[in-house]
Structure 1
Amino acid sequence: MNGASGESGPLRLGDIARVFDPARLTQARRIARMSKTELRQRVGVSAAAIGQYERGEVKPRGETIEALADALQVPPGYFALGRPRAQVEVAEASFRRLRSTTVAQQQQATAYVEQVWELSCYLEEQVEFPELDLPSWAFPESQEPIDPVTAARLLRSHWGLGAGPVVDLVAEIENHGVIVVLFSMKEEGSDEKSRIDAFSTTALSRPVIVMTPDKADDVLRHRFSAAHEIGHIVMHHGRHGSDSEMERQADRFAAEFLTPDAAIRPLLPHRVNFDRLEALSQHWGVSVHSLLYRMRELELVSESTARRAYITLSSTPRRPQSIRDFPGEQPELLRRAIELLEENDIPLAHIAADLQLPLRRVRQLAGIDSPKPRLTLVKNTNVRPLQAAPLTERERESEEEGG
């Protein structure tokens, strides 16, 4: 942006002020996890002004637009009407362990989903995405209640997964038209630990699953989280919130989806054998903790035996395997769509400009690693080359003798 001329791309700041979208300000503020009070202090407006802007009662002036953009680290044009926008309320998302997350964290997460939707809609206008492939009973119009075990078995059958381990689970989910994203919601340089593990929503044109490495970068944990969220998507017909019973149902769905009773029961030991469980963990792509829970659920061991095993397991924690080491468990749909556009001369910077999003945000949402800064050594032509000092008389005599 050219501050002197007051221009931002094709729109001047005054033009942006006239077509100001209040919901964009709320979205940007929630992503920045900034209170209205903190934002108004940074921008230098009255205590009531930010609320008035967000409610659409007052439009900010051009210079205020610029200050808001600087404070929230977005282009000024981000606040202009005219681009598709979704609105996802916290009540329209299923959060794992909702009670352990703050309202600000939940609002930040749903604001991110709104931007994921905007990016996916932009890309889908130019790239053909996989069709959404869910069973008829998985849509809100269906009133047919279904238990978690049956739902898991029916979805495995619908997707043709057989009875063995689900290899490359996230790739499988994306191939059936569900959008999955994986990115950190922690602010750069912040030591605060994010409490968001994974969540999903069916409030948009495609279901969206968001996973983060913030709580634990553990591929087995992420696989269970992804299966858990698919459980919400297919079972709960758009119902979301903090219902503990729905969370238990999603866990039961994930267990049956990843380790079907008929296939895993004959393989599980009838007494705790950690070597055997570790081997099964690697083969089926689930944690030893999950297998212990499965043994208790299938009544292969008693509650007290399982409890002692959990204690032993917690005293000898394993080293988690990073999700970055498993390409099939990393989302690719949005990233590959961007790569296809770049191959057709639509660069990432152009996509970011069309969406009026910072380039780093588009990279974040699509799971594209930021390029490392390139070091270039420049020859300084103003520095005179080094010259040898004149030889001393003894040095000249020594050279002559040697010659």
Structure 2
Amino acid sequence: MNIEQPLLPGTSLGGTSPRAVWDGFHAPRLTQARRLAGLTKREVADGIGVSAAAVGQYEAGTNRPRPELIPRLADVLDVPIQFFVAGRPMGKVDSSMAHFRALRSTSGAQRERALGFVEQVWELTHALEKRVQLPPVNLPGFTGGEVSPGAELPEDPVGAARALRQHWGLGDGPVRHLARRMEANGLIVVAPAEAEEAAAKVDAFSSSGLLRPVVVLTPNRADDVYRYRFSAAHELGHLVLHAGATGDIRLEREADAFAAEFLTPQKSIHPLLPRRVDLAQLAGLSQTWGVSVNSLVYRYRELGLVSDATISRAYQRLRGLSAQPGFAPQSVRGYPGEQPVMLSKAFELAEQDTGLTIRALAAELAWKPARVRELLGMPDSRPVLRLV
């Protein structure tokens, strides 16, 4: 992790000239902007009329783009020219610091774009945390946490899930409002809008490489609240079990085992599962426990309650019911407690207490105001003027 120092006193981002940006040009910001835009060095080079090798030199810090090229760079990458100025806090994240829910189906470019998104989420959080006291990180196993010394979880997924439930005082029943529960314990949880392409094209992912753990629940999960909740619990498992280790199918299976036990503890769900795989009864349990019927069927397999052949037949029957009430996916939009609010509420509190505005926050971050609204989940509600 690399956290840069705050902007030096007397330095202003407002009204910065291309020459001033050239004087304070910060190579990692160019890399971040390119990752966020999802562009290759060749594509950036073509956009500003230089060679790909030249862009490589700009990013390596061995050369700087000429002042007259900087507005072109900003235009190609859709950032203000002030974005490239050094001195603002920057949390750097690489692929060794993140867990991707579907690693094999996620391209390197998509992962790079998503990591840039996480960096910006952290920068926004850092800016808000200077004004508002956020919940302390209370996550045993997370090295940057603020838990009491000696708070540790077992290394096996099931034991860790049980211990975390106890640590968070969840008892043995259903976990209500999982996203809010995670936020209340200091985790940054974000659910980007469909328009946020930096995260929308990858599956759920998390990072433990910054001062607060970050969990990103992507739009393709939001169309099914139970799948969304399982993904959140899966990423929670990575954060407590797998600090410093990524990219292994074994780790993904461990995170799945953690999520299953965290959401449906064996000692609670076992007595409730009907002796025979009764899909109608499981549909009722699904609503009570906030997990899919598919997940409950899989619990039969995990607990060794029925044969694999019985499981296969149950899945076949489920496919035929997938569009029926009680079995069809339900959007997370109908479950406010599963939608993260910490960052937007922090902004609202700072707005009330200090007069902070979107425009002022954007200037501090050197982002466009629309980008701030996007990450806060606060779209511009003004009507759009269209000229025809």
TM-score > 0.5, shorter chain as reference: yes
**Quick one: structure 1 residues 372 and 281, their matched pair in 2 at CA, closer, same or farther if it must change by over 3 Å?**
farther
* Stretch moving more, 342-351 or 225-234: 342-351
1:99-110 paired onto structure 2 within 5 Å = 99-110=104-115
| Bigger Cα Rg | 1
* Corresponding position: 1:323 with 2:332: yes
356, 359, 364: which one pairs with 1:349? Answer: 359
Separation in 2, partners of 1:214, 1:363 = 21
Give the C-alpha shift of residue 144 in structure 1. 7.7
1:56-71 paired onto structure 2 within 5 Å = 56-71=61-76
Give the C-alpha shift of residue 93 in structure 1. 0.3
1:292-303 paired onto structure 2 within 5 Å = 292-303=297-308
TM (norm. structure 1) is 0.86
Give the C-alpha shift of residue 317 in structure 1. 1.6
User: Secondary structure of 2:64's partner?
Assistant: coil
**Quick one: structure 1 residues 187 and 170, their matched pair in 2 at CA, closer, same or farther if it must change by over 3 Å?**
closer
Separation in 1, partners of 2:173, 2:300 = 18
Deviations 1:330-381 (A, max 9, x none): 11111101111222311111101110012222122222233252579xxxxx
Give the C-alpha shift of residue 312 in structure 1. 2.0
Give the C-alpha shift of residue 119 in structure 1. 0.6
What is the RMSD computed on CA atoms of the aligned residues? 2.2
* Corresponding position: 1:91 with 2:101: no
**Quick one: structure 1 residues 244 and 186, their matched pair in 2 at CA, closer, same or farther if it must change by over 3 Å?**
farther
Q: Once the two structures are aligned, what percentage of the paired residues are identical? A: 50
Contact kept? 2:165, 2:262, Cα under 8 Å? yes
User: In structure 1, what residue type is equivalent to 2:232?
Assistant: A
Partner of 1:38: 43
129, 153, 156: which one pairs with 1:124? Answer: 129
User: Secondary structure of 2:205's partner?
Assistant: strand
Give the C-alpha shift of residue 9 in structure 1. 2.4
Separation in 1, partners of 2:62, 2:174 = 55
Give the C-alpha shift of residue 96 in structure 1. 1.0
Separation in 2, partners of 1:311, 1:363 = 44
**Quick one: structure 1 residues 185 and 105, their matched pair in 2 at CA, closer, same or farther if it must change by over 3 Å?**
farther
Contact kept? 2:162, 2:261, Cα under 8 Å? yes
Give the C-alpha shift of residue 215 in structure 1. 5.4
* Corresponding position: 1:172 with 2:181: yes
Give the C-alpha shift of residue 225 in structure 1. 0.5
User: In structure 2, what residue type is equivalent to 1:370?
Assistant: D
TM (norm. structure 2) is 0.89
Partner of 2:8: none
* Corresponding position: 1:220 with 2:249: no
Contact kept? 2:221, 2:228, Cα under 8 Å? no
Deviations 1:62-89 (A, max 9, x none): 2211001001111000000010011100
1:216-365 paired onto structure 2 within 5 Å = 217-236=223-242, 238-318=243-323, 319-344=328-353, 345-365=355-375
User: In structure 2, what residue type is equivalent to 1:323?
Assistant: V
Separation in 1, partners of 2:43, 2:335 = 40
Contact kept? 1:228, 1:254, Cα under 8 Å? yes
Separation in 1, partners of 2:341, 2:196 = 23
Separation in 2, partners of 1:40, 1:375 = 34
Deviations 1:161-195 (A, max 9, x none): 0111000000000000011111046667x9xx955
Structure 2 gap segments, 5+ residues each: 1-11
109, 113, 137: which one pairs with 2:118? Answer: 113
Contact kept? 2:225, 2:330, Cα under 8 Å? yes
* Corresponding position: 1:81 with 2:86: yes
Contact kept? 1:197, 1:211, Cα under 8 Å? yes
**Quick one: structure 1 residues 101 and 375, their matched pair in 2 at CA, closer, same or farther if it must change by over 3 Å?**
closer
User: Secondary structure of 2:206's partner?
Assistant: strand
Separation in 2, partners of 1:158, 1:260 = 15
Give the C-alpha shift of residue 301 in structure 1. 1.7
**Quick one: structure 1 residues 155 and 358, their matched pair in 2 at CA, closer, same or farther if it must change by over 3 Å?**
same
Contact kept? 1:331, 1:367, Cα under 8 Å? no
User: In structure 2, what residue type is equivalent to 1:363?
Assistant: R
Give the C-alpha shift of residue 47 in structure 1. 3.0
Separation in 2, partners of 1:187, 1:220 = 22
User: Secondary structure of 2:90's partner?
Assistant: coil
Partner of 1:380: none
Give the C-alpha shift of residue 138 in structure 1. 4.8
191, 197, 217: which one pairs with 2:203? Answer: 197
Separation in 1, partners of 2:18, 2:122 = 26
* Stretch moving more, 91-100 or 102-111: 91-100
Partner of 1:381: none
* Corresponding position: 1:207 with 2:207: no
Separation in 2, partners of 1:8, 1:144 = 45
Deviations 1:1-28 (A, max 9, x none): xxxxxx9723211000111111111111
373, 380, 386: which one pairs with 1:370? Answer: 380
Contact kept? 1:199, 1:229, Cα under 8 Å? yes
